[in-house]
Structure 1
Amino acid sequence: MKNKTTRLTGAALPGLLCLLMSLSALWASASPFQNQITGRVTDTNDHPIPGVSISLIISNTGTQTDMDGEFSIYATPQDTLRISYIGFKPILLPVGNQTSFSITLQQDITDLGEVTINAGYYNTTRREQTGSIARVTAEEIERQPVTNPLAALQGRMAGVSIVQRSGVPGNAPAIQIRGQNSLRSGFGNSGNLPLYIIDGVPIDSAPLNSFSGLTSPTISGIDPLNTLNPANIESIEVLKDADATAIYGSRGANGVILITTKKGTGGKQKTRINAQVYTGAGVVPRKLDLVTTADYIRLRQEAFANDGTTPTETNSPDLLLWDPDRYTDWQETLFGGTAATTGVNLDVSGGSARTYYNLGVGYQRETSVFPGDFKYTKLTANLSLNHRSIDERFKLQLSTSFGSDRNRQFDGSSFVSTALSLAPNAPALYTNNGELNWENSSWSNPLATLYRESEARVQQLISNLSLSYAITPELEARLNTGYTLLTSEELTEQPIRFYDPALWGNILTRSLHITAGRQSWIVEPQLNYRNTWGKLNLDALAGSTFQHRQNTALNIIGTGYPNDQLLGNLAAAEQLSVTENTTQKYAYAATFGRIGLHYARKYYLNLTGRRDGSSRFGPSRRFASFGAVGGAWILSEENWMQGLKTFLSFTKLRGSYGSAGSDQIGDYGYLDTYSATPGGGGLYPTQLTNPIYSWERNRKLELALELGLWNDKLRLNTSWYRNRSSNQLVGYNLPAITGFTSVQANLDATVENTGWEFEASTHFNTGRFSWQASLNVSIPQNRLVSFPGIEESSYANTYKIGESLNTQFLYDYTGVDPETGLYTVMDVNEDGVYNFDDRVVVKDLNRTLFGGFQNQFTYGRVSLDFLWEFVVQDGQQYYPSLAPGRMGTMLQEDYDRRWQNPGDIAEIQKASVGVSTLLANFRYQTSDKLYTDTSFLRLRTLGLSYELPTESLGIHSCILFLQGQNLLTLTAYRGLDPQYPGTTLPALRMLTAGLKLNF
C-alpha cells in the first residue's frame, strides 16, 4: 500500500489528485507506525457526550464519539488529538505513548448559541433569549454543602436577593426577585414569594409553621425546599421579567424559580457510579466584647447611687446573692460549640440508547453550636427514567424525588439573647450533684431549654411524568402531569424539669403537636409547533393547566400529664386544646400560549399570554388575562457591524413589557365563615364577606443591552427594569368595634420597583492554565408610588408615599443631655408628648446595592474558586435592649463611653434603674441613632480541589476538595452578623473536606 502511494505520487498525475487524498486516510489507518487510540468523552457531570469530533492535527483524520461517548482512532505517538464539540471548550491532547484517554469537556460559557436555558414551557439559549433569565449550574451548587438549595444562590444572581436569616439549618431563607411587590408581609404570607417549580411541578412556597422556634419575627419557618438534595440538581433558573414570567400568569408575579434535577444519559448499558462524601465543622465567626465582672459590678453600684436607692435581694441578686468574683463567658458557653456536618451522595446512571435512568440517594447530618443534642438529618432518594421509541416520535420522562428530614434544632434566639444579656457573675449552670442550678429561684437557668425537647419531621414526594408524541415532524403533542405530597409532624414537650422546682406545685406539663399536610396534582396538555420558511423560524405552543391543592393543619396542646414519661401521649393528658383544625382546598385552571419568531437569526419576537382562573376569588372576579411581548435585535449580525467584529463580537438589544397577576391570598376570603361556639351549641361569625375583590396586577418593563468583546472573551450585560404592582390585595385592618380584625379587600395603592443590573464575565485560557471570572451588581429601589386616602387608613403609620415599604419612622436623636445624663430626641411640635408625629426621620432598610464577584482558577489538576458577596444597606445597630445599669451585661465600648457626672459629653446615658432612664432608652431604641451602616463584604465560598491521576486504576476521576463558607466578613457593624442584625444565630464559618469519585 505504501509503495503504491509512492508510485502514484511520483507520477504526478493531476487527474488522480482527488484519489490520492482519499487514499491518504486509508494509508494512515493501516500504517505500521500507528497505534489504536481509544477513549471516552464526558461532561463535568460524567455524562457521556455523543457526536464529539475527534481529529488528528497532523493528518486531519477524524472520527466521532458514539452514544456512550466512546471513540477509537489510529494515531502515532507524535500526533495530537483535537477534541471539539459545540458548546464546550476544545482540547488539544498529545498522544505520546498513551493509548487510552478519559476526557472531560468544560462547558464554554462564551458559546451563547448552544448553552441551553430552561424557560419553563420551552427552552432557549443565551443568544436567543428575549427575557431576563439567571442560571446557576450543578457545578456551582455542588461546591457548597448547604441544606437548602436556595442558599447556594447567594451573591450569584443579579436582581435576586437571598438572606439566610439564621445559622440554624432547616429554616426558610428570605428571597426576593427584584424587590417587594405586595403590601402583604409576615410569616406564611406568600404575597411576595416567587413560584417554585421542580421538574415542571409547582410546589407551595410558603414556609411551614413551627412550635420549636423555627418560626419567629426574625426566622421564616421550615422551608419546603429542605427535602431536596442539592447534589441532585442539574440547574436552577430564575425568571425575572414579564417576557419570562407572563406565561405563568398569576403565579409568576413575584418571579419564577425553576429547579431541574439530574437525568440519565443514553448509552450502551454501561453503568456509571458517582459518589461524594464530605465532613466538616462550623463555628460562630464572631463574638462581642462584653464587660468584665469587675466593671459590671461597678456599673450596677453606680446605677443605684445615681438613683439614690438601696439594692435588695429582690432587685439585685447579682450584687447581694451571687459571687461578685465569678465570671462566665456566656457567649462561649451558650453558642461557642462546634457544629459538625457530614454528607454522603451516591448516584448511579446507565441504560441503553433509548431507555436510560438515573438513581440517587443522599444523606446529610448537621449538629449545633449550642449545648445539648441538637441536630438536623436528611435522607433523600431520586429516580429519573427516560425512554424514546425507535422512530423517535414517542418520548417518556419520569422523575421522582423523595426527601425526609428530621429537625431537632431550635432557632437558638433564647441562647443567643441570653448570652448577650446575662450578667457575667451569674450562677453556675449545674449544682455539685449535676442538677440544674436555680440558685434559690434568683435566676432563670438558660439550660432549662434543653429539657424542652422538640422534633419536626417533614416528608415530601415530588413526581412528574411527561409524555410527548410527534404527530408530524413539525407538530408535537405533550402531556405533563405532576403530584406532590408533603406531610409534617412536630412534637414539642415541656416536662416539669423545664421549670424552677420552686414552682412545680403550680405548673402543668404540656405537649404541643402540629400536623400539617399539603397535597396537589397538576395536569398540563399542550401542543408544540415548529417550522422554518427560509430565514423565518416559528416556535409556538398552546396548552392548558388544571391544578388542585389541599392543605390541612391540626394543632393540639395537651396539658396536665401525670409524669414526664407520658409526655406526648395525648390520651394521658388531663386537658386537650385544639388551636387549629383546618382543611383548605384551592383550584386553579388556565389556558396559555406562546409564539416565538425569529428572522435570519438576528430579529426575535416572543409573544406570551395566559388566561387564569382561581378559586380564591368570587364568581364575578374569578378569571383574568395576562400577557407579555418581548423582542431582541442582534446588531452584530448586521452587515454594517461586521467591521467591528474583531472588537465588538456580539451586540444585542432586548426589551419586554407585560403584566402578571397575583392570587396569593388565603382561601375562601370572599365568603362568610363561622366557627362553632364552645360546647357546640351554636355558630359565631369569624370573617366578613367581600365577594368583589379581584386580582392584584403587576406590570413589568425591561430594557437591556448585551455585549461580547474580543470574540466574547469579555461579556457585559446591562438591564434596567420597572415593575409596578397595583390593586393591592390586603387584609384591610378594621377597628375593634366591628368585631373583626380585618377584611379581604383591594387597595388603590401602587408599589414600584426599579433598578439597574450589571453583569460581566470573562475567561482566559493558556496551556494548562485557565481563569474564569464573573461579576454581578444590582442597584434596586422600592417605593410606594400612590395610596389615595392613606392618611385616613390603618396604614398611615406604616407607609409613606414616595418611600420604601421597608421603612422605619424614627425620632430625631439629639444626644445625651450633659446635665441629666439621659438620651434625648427632638420634640418636633413642642407639645411635651413624644408620639408618631415626632417621628420625622425616615430610614430605608432595603438593600441599595448588592452582588457578587466569582473567580475560578485551574492549573492542570488543581482548581481554586471563590465568591465574594457584597451588600450596601442600613440596619439596626446592636445595643442591649435594657437601659445601662439594669441587671444584664453591656458592650465594653459602651461602658467606657457612658455618662458619669454632670457636664459630661457622652455617647451612652447614665447608669440607672429608674423609670425615667427606661423611657429615655425606649425613645433611643426608636430613634435614628440606633440605625447605622450595616454594609458588608463577605468571602461567601472558597474552594480548593485536586484531581488525582487514577485513570490506570479504572476510576474515571477522583477529586479531593476543601471547601470554606463565610470565612471572612468585612463590616463596620459591631453585632454578630450584619446580614440579619439582632440576636439570632449568625451564619456559621464552615470548613469541609471531601472526596468525589466517578467510576
Structure 2
Amino acid sequence: MEKKFSHFSKLIITLFLFANLFGFPIIASSNGQGNKGDTEFEKIIGLIQDKYDVSITVDADAVDQKPEIVKKISDETDNILKSKNIEDALKLLTSGTGLQYQKLRNDFYIIKLKKEPQKEEEVPEKKNRFEGGEKTIKGTVSQKSDGITLPGVNVYVKGTIVGSSTNIDGYYEIDVPEDATTLVFSFLGFKTVEVPIANQTTIDVQLVEDVFGLEEVVIAGVASATPRRNLSISVTKIGGKEINEAPASSAVSALQGKVAGLNISSANGLPGGGASIQIRGATSLRGNQKPMVILDGNILYTNLADINSDDIESVEVVKGAAAAALYGSQAGNGVIVINTKRGKGTGKESTSVIFRQEVGFQKLAKQIKQSTHHPYKLADDWEDYPYTRYANIWYNDDGYPVSGNKLLNDNDSSYADQPYARLYDHQDRFFKNGMYNTTYISFLGASKSSNFMVSYERNNQDGIIFETGGYTRNNLRLNLDHNISTKIRVSTSNLFLTTKSDNPGSNSTFTDLLFIGPDVDLMEDNNNGTPYRITPDPWSIAENPLYPLANMDRTSDRMSFIGNVRAYWDIMEGLIFNVKYAYEYRNKQWSTYTPKGYLGNYPSNVGGSLYKQAFFEFNQNFQATLNYNKQIKDFTTKLKLSYLYENIANNGFWATGRNFSVYDVPQLDWTDNTEATLGSSEQKITSINYISILDVDYKNKYIFSLQYRMDGSSLFGENERWHPFYRVSGAYRITEDVQIPGIDELKIRAAYGNSGQRPGFDNQYETWKGGYGYAYPSTLGNKDLKPSITTELEVGLNMEFLQHFSFEFIYSHGITDGAIQLAPLYSHSGYPYQWQNVGTIQADVFEATLSAQLFSNRKLTWNASLIFDRLRQKITEMTIPPYNTGPYNAFLFAEGETFAVIYGYSWLTSLDDMAAQLPSGKTIDDYQINSDGYVVPKGSGGTNDEIPILLDKDNDGLADKVEIGNGNPVFNLSLNNTLTFKRFTLYSLFSWKNGGEIYNYTRQYTFRDLRDIEFDQSGKPEGEKKTINYYSTFYKNTEINDYFIESGSYLKLREAALYYTFDKHQLINIFNGLFQAIRIGFQAHNIFTISNYRGYDPEVASGRDLSN
C-alpha cells in the first residue's frame, strides 16, 4: 500500500510541474492494483508491438515464465527485433519456449501456452447446467469484415440467464433447454445478433461492427434501459469520449454544437456565467425556455455551468414534448439527463487513477472598431500641446477646458475628419489576457461486491476584464455502489461544489468604455491622487470604465450539495423494486460594495454603500419504482410504475446600507440605518406525480410504447391541481423483414404526446407591491391557472447504409397551449394585471444528422458528423391585446406573428415607397437614393441636409413601426471530425449559423457621442464623405430602427484539439510501469469566428440587451 501511494504522489508532482511549465493539457491514467509493473517478458512484447505496429495479447497462463526461458528470450531480443516481419519475429520469440502464437488478423496476435492435443476443444466453464430436457449447441463467432474469431463474446438464451462466452479462439459451447427458441450473441463494439435455434446443434455467427452505437443503451424517456436501435422517440446520446475530445470548462459548454435542435449561448460572456439553453425553440411567452436537467437521477436546479465535464459518462438529450412526456409538467422544454462515471468496468479488485492538468489563456476575440477622428475646429497651435486643443476653448494649466464651446470645423459639411493630438486604445487597456487552469483527479475502483468513484476538480479562470478576478470552481464527487446480496444492492451519488465569481464593478462599464474619446488617458490620477480619474473626458458624461473595476467589489458565491441514495430489490426474475431519496441544498450569496469616498457621478455613491443578498434552497424528492421486464417468446415487455414526491423550500433576504460612518469596513452595522432598505422572500412547493409506461417490441422489429402520467402541484391553480400527460409511440425496423442492398438498418418511427411547464410560484395568488409603509395591488389571483401544455407529433427515420454511414431525419410539429403571461385587466377589478393562460405557440422543426466512418484501419481512423436543424415558430392564438416586450420593447407578440421578430422604425430605401408618402407640395423628383442606399433630399449628398427619411405607411406624417428583423436563423449546421493516426488524435468542431438578425444596441448607443467607426471620414474622397448630422439621425434617441439590424450569421471553429497518447508499453520504464496511458496535447475553444456582426460576438446572448 505504501508503495502504491508513493507512486501516486510521484505521479501528481511530476504531472503538475510538467503541465505548468509547458502550458498544455495532460491526461494520465494508471492502474492502482499495487503490482510491481509489467514483467520482463511483457516489456519485450511491448517492444515488438512498437516495432511492427501490431497488437499482441498475452494469455494469462503465458505471462509468468521460468527465469531461464525469460533469459533466453531476452538474449534473443535484438535478433527478434531485426526480423523481416512480425511472423518471423514471433516464430523466433516462441521457439523452444513452450509458447505458441496465433494470428487473429493482420494486426492482432495472441501468445499462449502450447497445449497437448485434446479429443475435444476446451471450452469455458458453463454457467448453467440442466437436469434434463437440454441440448448442447456449439459454434464459432467471428468478425464479418475479415473472418477473425472473437474471444469473450456473450452467448445466451434470449429471455433467460442461461449463457456462456467464447474462448480465445472464438469457440463456444452452451447447454440450453429443449424449448429454447433463440440464441443471442453480443459483444462490445459489435451489433447484437439473434439466431433461431430450431433443430440446430452447431451455430456459427459473424458479428458486424457497431460503428454508430446502435447497441448503446439509453435510459432517458423509456421504461428501462433500451438499445438505441429499439427507440421510438428522439433521444440523442453523447458519450464521455465525445464530450472530452476537447474538454470543456463545464457540462453545458460540452454540449454546444453536438446535438441537432439544441441551441446554447452564453448569458453574459463572463466566466461561470449561466447559459441560455433551448431545445426545439421556445414554448413560453415569458422567456423561460430552460429544459429540465437531471443529474444522476436528481432534478437539478444548480447552475449547469458549475458542473464539471470530466465526471460525465454520458449525456442523453430528450428532445421534444412527446419524448419528454415521461417527465410531465416540468419537461415542456425537453430534458437533459446527465450520467456521471462510476467504478463499474474497472475489473475485480482493481483501482484506476485519472489525472488531468490543463493550463492556458483566454483573450478577447476581436475589438469593436471606433472612430479616431472628430469634426471640431482645432486651435491654431494645437500641435504644440500633448492634448487635443480645440479652437474657442480656454484651458487651465493642466490642459482641462474652463470655458467656451467647441466649434464644428465646417458648419455646412461637418465631417469627422480632424485628428486627435494623441490616441489610446481603451479596449486594449480594459481587456486583458486571462489565465485559466483546471486540475482534475479521479479514483475508480471495484471489488467483488462494490465499486466507487471519487473525483476532485478545481477550475480557475481569471477572465479578460481589467481588475476583475474571474471565476473559481471546486467540484468534489463520490459515487458508490454495493451489492448487499444477490437480491439487494444500494448506490449513492454525491456532488459538493463551490464557486466564486468576481464581476465587473458597474452596470455601465462596457458602455462607458465605448463613449470616452480616444485621446483620453484612462490611467491618469484623480485630483486626490487615487488612480483612474473618474471623469477623464471633459466632453463626455461617461465615467472612467477602469475606476469602478478597481474600486467597487461585486461578488457572487454559490454552494450546492447534490446527492441521492437508492436501493434495489430483485424480487424475482425480471421484477425489480427500487426506491430513491434525492436532495439538493443550494446557497447563493451576492455582495456589492462601494467604499466610502467613492468618486462616482451620483451623490449617493460618495458615502459608500453595501448590498447583500442571500438565497437558501432545499429540494428533496422521494421516488418508488417497480420495473418488470419479461421475455415471452418473441415479445419483450418492459413495464414501469412509479410514484414521485417533490418538495422545494427556499427563502432569501436582501439588505442595502448607505453612508458608511468609517472607511474600509464593509459591514452593514457601519451604515446609516435611516437609509437602509430590507426585503425577504419564502417559497414552499409540493408536487406529487404518478407515472406509468409500457414498452413492447416483437422480434426486435415492431416497437410500441404507451405512457401515462398524472401530475399534481401546488403551483397549479386551486381548481386545476391535477393534470395528465401521455405519449404513444411506435417504430418499425424495416430491414428486419426486408433486405435492401446497401442498407444495413432502416427504421421509421412516430410519437405523439405532451408535456408542460409549471406556472411561477406567485402566479396563482393575489399580490401587492409596496414599501416604506405603503402598499398597492399588483396582480389578481387566478384559481384556474393551468400549466402550459406542449403537444407534439414527431416522425423520424433512422438509417445505416454501406456499413460506414448513419443518417437520422426528424420532423416535429408542436403546439403549446395555455402559454402563461400577465394579462391587463379593466380598472374596475381593482388590480392592473392577472396571470392567465393566454397564448398558443406553434413550432415546426426539421433535424438531420449524418455520421460517417470515412476511413478505418489500425493506423488511421476518420469519423465525422454533420448536424442540421431548422426551426419555424409563430403565435397562432392570443387572448390579450398585442404587446411589445423584451429589451427596449423590440419584440411584438401578437396573434399571427412570427415568434422572435423585431419591430421598429424603417428608413426608406425605395423611391416607390417615398412616392407613397410624399409631403404636400413635393414630387418624387425632389428625392434620390444616396450612396448608402437610403432615400434623401435630392442634391443633399455630403451636406448637413442629407437626412434619411422614415417609413410612414399611412402617410399621416408620423413614422410607423414595422417588422425590421427576425431573430430566427434559416438553419444551424455543425461539422465535427475526429482523425486518429497511430497515437495522434486531431479533433475539430465547426458551427455555422445561417441567417437570423441581431439588433446592435451597443453600436447605436455609441452614435450619441460620435464614436462609431461610421463617423470617421478621414481618408475618404471629398465627394464620398458623410456629415455627423447624417449619421446622428440614425441614433434616433435610442429608438429601435433598422439601421442597427445586423446579420447574426457566423461560421465558428468552436473546438479544436491535437493529442498524442503514450500507451503502457511506451511508459513501461517510468515509475515501474505505474502509468497505463498519458495523453498530452493542445486544445482551443472559439478559435475564430467569421461574421459580419460588428459587436464582440454574434453568439453571446443577454437577458437585458438585444445585442452584446
Deviations 1:557-592 (A, max 9, x none): 111111332123445544463453000111100101
Which among 289, 294, 300 is matched to residue 197 of structure 1? 294
Alignment of 1:984-995 (within 5 A): none
Structure 2 Cα separation of the partners of residues 781 and 411 of structure 1: 40
Structure 1 partner of 2:490: 396
Which among 652, 665, 669 is matched to residue 747 of structure 2? 652
Structure 2 partner of 1:708: 800
Displacement of 1:515: 0.2
CA pair 962-54 structure 1, distance change in 2 beyond 3 A: farther
The answer as to whether partners of 2:1007 and 2:1035 remain within 8 angstroms in 1 is no
The answer as to whether partners of 1:492 and 1:512 remain within 8 angstroms in 2 is yes
Structure 2 Cα separation of the partners of residues 31 and 493 of structure 1: 80
Structure 1 Cα separation of the partners of residues 1039 and 150 of structure 2: 77
- Residue 490 (structure 1) aligned with residue 590 (structure 2): yes
The answer as to whether partners of 1:478 and 1:527 remain within 8 angstroms in 2 is yes
The answer as to whether partners of 1:824 and 1:920 remain within 8 angstroms in 2 is no
The answer as to whether partners of 1:201 and 1:464 remain within 8 angstroms in 2 is yes
CA pair 435-110 structure 1, distance change in 2 beyond 3 A: closer
The answer as to whether partners of 1:821 and 1:899 remain within 8 angstroms in 2 is no
SS at match of 1:564: coil
Larger mean CA deviation between 591-600 and 691-700 belongs to 691-700
SS at match of 1:487: strand
Displacement of 1:354: 1.4
CA pair 717-463 structure 1, distance change in 2 beyond 3 A: same
Structure 2 partner of 1:454: 554
Give the letter for the 1:325 counterpart.
A
Q: How many residues matched? A: 867
The answer as to whether partners of 1:167 and 1:985 remain within 8 angstroms in 2 is no
Displacement of 1:920: 5.2
Structure 2 partner of 1:805: 899
- Residue 777 (structure 1) aligned with residue 868 (structure 2): yes
Which among 866, 870, 880 is matched to residue 988 of structure 2? 866
The answer as to whether partners of 2:883 and 2:893 remain within 8 angstroms in 1 is no
- Residue 911 (structure 1) aligned with residue 990 (structure 2): no
Give the letter for the 1:263 counterpart.
R
Unaligned regions of 5+ residues in structure 1, if any? Answer: 1-27, 39-49, 66-70, 76-83, 91-105, 186-190, 206-223, 302-308, 989-999
- Residue 604 (structure 1) aligned with residue 718 (structure 2): no
Structure 2 partner of 1:178: 280
Give the letter for the 2:755 counterpart.
A
The answer as to whether partners of 2:312 and 2:339 remain within 8 angstroms in 1 is yes
Displacement of 1:134: 1.4
Structure 2 Cα separation of the partners of residues 927 and 965 of structure 1: 34
The answer as to whether partners of 1:886 and 1:911 remain within 8 angstroms in 2 is no
CA pair 514-138 structure 1, distance change in 2 beyond 3 A: same
Structure 1 Cα separation of the partners of residues 845 and 374 of structure 2: 49
- Residue 831 (structure 1) aligned with residue 956 (structure 2): yes
Structure 2 Cα separation of the partners of residues 505 and 460 of structure 1: 35
Displacement of 1:843: 2.2
Structure 2 Cα separation of the partners of residues 941 and 85 of structure 1: 35
Deviations 1:732-752 (A, max 9, x none): 2457897655311121x2101
Larger mean CA deviation between 967-976 and 629-638 belongs to 967-976
Deviations 1:271-306 (A, max 9, x none): 2111111100111121233222x45656999xxxxx
The answer as to whether partners of 1:157 and 1:851 remain within 8 angstroms in 2 is no
Displacement of 1:416: 3.5
Give the letter for the 2:518 counterpart.
P
SS at match of 1:975: coil
Which among 831, 841, 844 is matched to residue 751 of structure 1? 841
The answer as to whether partners of 1:670 and 1:691 remain within 8 angstroms in 2 is yes
Structure 2 Cα separation of the partners of residues 690 and 877 of structure 1: 36
Structure 1 Cα separation of the partners of residues 230 and 236 of structure 2: 14
CA pair 919-556 structure 1, distance change in 2 beyond 3 A: farther
- Residue 947 (structure 1) aligned with residue 1061 (structure 2): yes
- Residue 964 (structure 1) aligned with residue 1084 (structure 2): yes
CA pair 576-72 structure 1, distance change in 2 beyond 3 A: farther
- Residue 563 (structure 1) aligned with residue 680 (structure 2): no
CA pair 153-257 structure 1, distance change in 2 beyond 3 A: same
- Residue 545 (structure 1) aligned with residue 644 (structure 2): yes
Structure 2 partner of 1:7: none
Alignment of 1:36-47 (within 5 A): none
Deviations 1:651-702 (A, max 9, x none): 0000100122221x222432334578645xx876454222122221211010
Give the letter for the 2:425 counterpart.
D
CA pair 439-977 structure 1, distance change in 2 beyond 3 A: closer
Alignment of 1:182-331 (within 5 A): 182-185=284-287, 191-204=288-301, 224-265=303-344, 267-292=347-372, 294-295=373-374, 313=401, 324-331=420-427
CA pair 889-684 structure 1, distance change in 2 beyond 3 A: closer
The answer as to whether partners of 2:510 and 2:545 remain within 8 angstroms in 1 is no
Displacement of 1:945: 0.4
Displacement of 1:166: 3.4
Give the letter for the 2:1077 counterpart.
S
CA pair 58-439 structure 1, distance change in 2 beyond 3 A: closer
Larger mean CA deviation between 978-987 and 170-179 belongs to 978-987
Which among 742, 746, 753 is matched to residue 833 of structure 2? 742
Q: Which TM-score applies when normalising by structure 1?
A: 0.79
Structure 2 Cα separation of the partners of residues 113 and 780 of structure 1: 30
Unaligned regions of 5+ residues in structure 2, if any? Answer: 1-90, 103-124, 127-139, 155-164, 170-184, 192-207, 381-390, 395-400, 409-417, 909-933
Deviations 1:246-267 (A, max 9, x none): 1111111110111111111263
SS at match of 1:250: helix
The answer as to whether partners of 1:354 and 1:389 remain within 8 angstroms in 2 is yes
SS at match of 2:229: coil
Structure 1 Cα separation of the partners of residues 581 and 1103 of structure 2: 44
Structure 1 Cα separation of the partners of residues 953 and 150 of structure 2: 86
SS at match of 2:511: helix
SS at match of 2:892: coil
Q: Percent identity?
A: 21
Structure 2 partner of 1:3: none
Displacement of 1:32: 5.5
Q: Which TM-score applies when normalising by structure 2?
A: 0.72
- Residue 717 (structure 1) aligned with residue 808 (structure 2): yes
Which among 450, 472, 488 is matched to residue 355 of structure 1? 450
Displacement of 1:239: 0.5
Which among 548, 565, 574 is matched to residue 465 of structure 1? 565
Structure 2 Cα separation of the partners of residues 527 and 718 of structure 1: 34
Give the letter for the 1:937 counterpart.
L
Give the letter for the 2:1084 counterpart.
G
SS at match of 1:289: coil
The answer as to whether partners of 2:564 and 2:582 remain within 8 angstroms in 1 is yes
Displacement of 1:885: 7.8
CA pair 317-743 structure 1, distance change in 2 beyond 3 A: farther
Structure 1 Cα separation of the partners of residues 608 and 947 of structure 2: 44
Structure 1 partner of 2:788: 696
SS at match of 2:664: helix
Displacement of 1:506: 7.9
Between Structure 1 and Structure 2, whose CA radius of gyration is higher?
Answer: 2
- Residue 86 (structure 1) aligned with residue 187 (structure 2): yes
SS at match of 2:957: coil
Which among 849, 859, 862 is matched to residue 768 of structure 1? 859
Larger mean CA deviation between 759-768 and 575-584 belongs to 575-584
Give the letter for the 1:228 counterpart.
I
SS at match of 1:332: helix
CA pair 606-406 structure 1, distance change in 2 beyond 3 A: same
- Residue 930 (structure 1) aligned with residue 1032 (structure 2): no
The answer as to whether partners of 1:271 and 1:348 remain within 8 angstroms in 2 is yes
Larger mean CA deviation between 947-956 and 230-239 belongs to 947-956
Structure 2 partner of 1:974: 1094
SS at match of 2:512: helix
